[in-house]
Amino acid sequence: MPIITNIEDLRVLAQQRVPRMFYDYADSGSWTESTYRANEADFQPIKFRQRVAISMDNRSTRSTMIGQDVAMPVALAPVGLTGMQHADGEILAARAAKAFGVPFTLSTMSICSIEDVAAGTGNHPFWFQVYVIRDRGFIERLIERARAANCSALVLTLDLQIIGQRHKDLKNGLSAPPKLTLPNIINMMSKPRWGIGMLGTRRRGFGNIVGHVGGVEDMGSLSEWSSKQFDPTLNWNDVEWIKKRWGGKLILKGIQDPEDARLAVNAGADALIVSNHGGRQLDGAESSIRALPRIVEAVGKDIEIHMDGGVRSGQDVLKARALGARGVYIGRAFIYGLGAMGEAGVSKALEIIHKELDLTMAFCGRTDINTVDQSILLPGTYSPN
């Protein structure tokens, strides 16, 4: 086993162990992938102010996200097909998040169902992500299932009314279960750890959908149903309808523009996520970390602001926090850990990010994450507007 010291080590190991179509699904963007790359790269020019001769004792990264206590201001992002990165992946990731003390967000397009994750974590509260789709009855049933599963927040994704073109997914013939083309069979045969795990689980389809929608009883009928269900007519009235149906904490994901941020406030959301869907939708959109300060300036006093996109280290978390994000979501970082080492890999990813966050905060002269602001950053290396 190689020595794992950073998220990149987990990525390399995941690439070795996960079939190509599922690794590429997680580690790719749309079209030229320029936004996917910018999400990560745009953290790099932001520099810290190093401070010395300040006590670094008794440090704490504890904070809150939408009023929930968290061990650090990090949540696991909703990622579709997580259970294809590793057998029972959503359950394992949720267990790791529970043990560490950070929120786990389950995607509607998960392999393990809401009920699977609830049972696998002892009914521990987690967050659930939904889309606006044409079948409003299905949304209503999903919301009721989330409520029954003790979900403590609903995350509504707003930037997937239509799907951006992702070249690698098209070339790989991405599906769950995998399409058994000759190249895919050969590639899967080269990943024995993954294959053994998949043979040992019954969870290989979209657990939140198959069997819960009329006429959708297998993967073939699911493909036809899902291709027609994402609703291009999504508008703010739909957001208000979902908030009313849910009645609990609502987080809106996919905000990149200050005008949309103000509309999110008007819709009554409890938080918004500055996000470009990991660079998987509008290629050429601004990176999340560059968009963050303008949205904080526009609505930071009116709504709790979170962000995702390109977070690969605890230093990235600290930079986002300094620029006004109350919390940060990691997607690929925990997916790499899951693909590399299962539940232990997700725990390792969280440990790595926490250690980097803790040490960097100390070097910047702070011992409490709740005192971090722009003053820990070197002026001129970030743009406040």
13-29 residue pLDDT tens = 999 999 999 999 999 99
78 annotated to bind ligand: yes
pLDDT tier, 382 (very low <50, low <70, confident <90, very high otherwise): confident
68 annotated to bind ligand: no
- Positions annotated as catalytic residues are 277
User: What are 234-287's pLDDT values in tens digits?
Assistant: 999 999 999 999 999 999 999 999 999 999 999 999 999 999 999 999 999 999
Res. 126: pLDDT tops 70: yes
For position 180, what pLDDT does the model report? 83
For position 223, what pLDDT does the model report? 60
345 annotated to bind ligand: no
- Domains of the chain (ranges; CATH) run 7-40+60-357 (3.20.20.70)
3-state secondary structure 129-158: EEECECCHHHHHHHHHHHHHCCCCEEEEEC
User: What are 167-180's pLDDT values in tens digits?
Assistant: 998 899 887 677 88
253 annotated to bind ligand: yes
pLDDT tier, 230 (very low <50, low <70, confident <90, very high otherwise): confident
280 annotated to bind ligand: yes
Instruction: Report cis status (omega within 30 of 0) of the bond before 177.
Output: yes
For position 17, what pLDDT does the model report? 98
86 annotated to bind ligand: no
164 annotated to bind ligand: no
80 annotated to bind ligand: yes
Res. 384: pLDDT tops 80: no
